[in-house]
Amino acid sequence: MQVVVAVVLVGLAIYLYYLSIKWFFINLAPFIFGAGAVFMSGAVLVNYLRAMSGTLFTGGGWADSPDGPEPAFRQYFFRKAFQDYACIVRDSYKANIGAAERVIKLGTKLFLNPAWLATWPLGVTFYAIVATGAVVAGCAYVAFGTVHLLLVILFCAVALAAAVFFRVLEYGSMIWRRIFLVCPNSGCYRRISLPIYLCPNCGAEHERLVPGTYGTFRRRCQCGQKLPTLFLFGRNKLPAICPHEACRRPLSAAVGTKRNLHVPVVGGPAAGKTSFLMANMVELHGCAANGEVSLSFPETKDEKLFDACRRAFGSGTVLRKTAEFSPDAFLVNLADGRGKGALLYVYDAAGELYQDTEVLRGHEYYSYTHAILFLVDPFSLQRVQIDYQSSLRGASDAIKPCAERPQDIYDRMIGTLRESSKMGRRFKNQPVAVVVTKVDAFDLASKMRVATSRRRDGTGQESQSVRQWLMDHGEGNLVRSIEHDFKNVRYFCCSALGRMPDGNGAPFRPAGVLDPLSWALDGYGIALADAAQRRRLGAR
């Protein structure tokens, strides 16, 4: 009887036990499974965030290094972000696997024991919850990783779009302001798409310092130095060199910052080109002192040359002739009273250059010339030499007549211009100022019948008077050639020194030198006519 009672009680206990398990599975299991899934998903998120924190904020991320053709670090979202993403995915995966192993180890310890016959429903439940949590956690892990990757790609796309936008914006601004880059160094004179910028800290050469994969506004050099990628942020202040292999010489910080105008001063040996150029600078310096214009020299060597020439003018000392066939362009920052200005590249090549067509072809500035100042030494004309034969005997050292005919100089120049510019036979845009120099000698100025009353632009009847004088002195072919090749021609006369050099030490006072340059620049919106007029009246 006792055995029967015991069997009944055991059976009843087992029945009640399984009823409780059934009740558990029907009523509580969904909540426990849900809670387990939420817990596992939360654990995965916590592990992912901890991996992100360790990678992004505590220095445990991927060790970056300079990459690609430039000696610089890629912008974060173009390289390191993806490497950090891989580190985060890997580290969080390891953390999740470690957590899963600990949970399984705990379940094994609790349920895989001698009492497993009694606890196997709980063990099955536990492992079912673990399996369900693992699936949910895996999905959560993939979801977090996917969202993270999409965010990295999104930020990368935004950074790339910003880089392209600002790059196009700067390029468009340069086109709008009619800026293009040109090397001013002798023997080069070639256009530049972009200078090579040097890191001021380590001297590394950055060939493409523009917004892009290395940085939108700034990039980090291999040495850690931050370098601006736009003129807006001071890229032009970095040391720069010409990118052409045959040159690679330093470039001025002014290159590319404002509109540039290229003006060659053309003439034969001893035509007075250097004196004419420096006389213009002396006159403009006087205008700047009166607040009529703004004048500065971006290059220290040009400023020193000007200072030396200004002192020479002040002491009545004749300037030395240009020694180099192809000197560096003389750079001048010039603006009128309204603030309209440009960076002038003035080319003062030795007169002997124009005696050799082959050498002249190397002067690439003729392919982008904006205006030409063509100097004519009146004493290089045969008719004038005959008329002043007796006077020239005693003054040839002071006057130094040019030995080359203006027509020959012009023919070589126009041939080079046609070859360089490929613009055909007639040039419509470039203004050409034909300037007869040295009119202070003897009575040349009076014989040209220059009118004393001039129009506001400073030309008046001077152009027709000088043109007729050239025609009367055997240069009709030169006049017709120039007017056939160029649509916009004006004639001037001037004296770069204001008087014949006689060694008495009195200062030279230029006369009429600003008129040709003023007229040439007027077509580009720079108004110097009023300043030139006042300088002329002041000289009188």
Per residue of the chain (540 residues), give pLDDT as tens. 666 666 666 666 655 556 555 555 555 556 556 666 666 677 777 777 787 777 777 766 777 888 889 999 999 888 888 888 888 888 888 877 777 777 767 666 665 665 555 555 666 666 666 776 677 777 777 888 888 889 989 999 999 999 999 999 999 988 888 888 889 888 788 888 899 999 999 999 999 999 999 999 999 999 999 999 998 888 989 999 999 998 999 998 888 888 899 999 998 888 888 889 999 999 999 888 888 899 999 988 889 888 988 888 888 887 776 544 457 889 999 998 888 889 999 988 754 554 455 555 556 777 888 999 999 999 889 888 888 887 777 776 777 888 888 998 898 888 878 877 665 555 667 899 999 998 888 878 777 764 433 444 444 577 888 998 999 899 999 999 999 889 899 999 998 888 887 767 788 888 889 999 999 998 898 988 776 676 665 555
**First-to-final CA distance of the chain:** 149
The answer to whether 189 and 364 are in contact (CB under 8 A) is yes
Token pair recorded at residue 272:
């007075």
- 8 Å CB contact between 346 and 498: no
Asked whether the beta carbons of 443 and 467 are under 8 A apart, the reply is: no
Q: 399 near 406, Cβ under 8 Å?
A: no
Residue 106, φ and ψ in degrees, nearest 5: -65, -45
The C-alpha angle 144, 145, 148, rounded to 5 degrees, equals: 85
Concatenate the DSSP letters of all residues of 29-66 into one string: HHHHHHHHHHHHHHHHHHHHHHHHHHHHTSS-S-----
Residue 167, phi-psi category: left (phi > 0), alpha (psi -120 to 50), beta (remainder) = alpha
Helix axes 529-539, 273-289, angle to 10 degrees: 100
Q: How far is CA 124 from CA 33, 110, 512, in A?
A: 12, 12, 107
What is the C-alpha separation between 61 and 419, in angstroms, rounded? Answer: 59
Closest by CA to 487, choosing from 392, 321, 372, 318, is: 372
Three-state DSSP state, 296: strand
- Pairing type for strands 205-206 and 218-221 reads unpaired
**Residue 253 CB neighbour total at 10 angstroms:** 16
25 secondary structure, DSSP code: I
Model confidence, pTM: 0.79
Q: Indicate the Cα dihedral angle 470, 474, 475, 480, nearest 10°.
A: 100
Which has the closest alpha carbon to 532: 337, 306, 264?
337
Listing DSSP states for 343-408 in one string gives: EEEEE---GGGGG-HHHHTT-GGGGS---EEEEE-GGGSHHHHHHTHHHHHHHHHHH---SS-HHH
Output the DSSP codes for 240-279. Answer: EE--STTT--B--TTTTTS-EEEEEEE--TTS-HHHHHHH
Domain boundaries in the chain?
A: 2-176, 181-241, 260-539
Are 414 and 481 spatial neighbours (Cβ–Cβ below 8 Å)? yes
Q: For residues 304 and 194, what is the distance between their CA atoms, to the nearest angstrom?
A: 28
What is the sign of the dihedral through the CA atoms of 386, 389, 391 and 392? positive
In DSSP terms, 376 is beta-bridged to: 436
260-539 carries CATH number 3.40.50.300: yes
- One-letter amino acid at 409 equals I
Q: Under DSSP, is residue 329 helix (H, G, I), strand (E, B) or coil?
A: coil
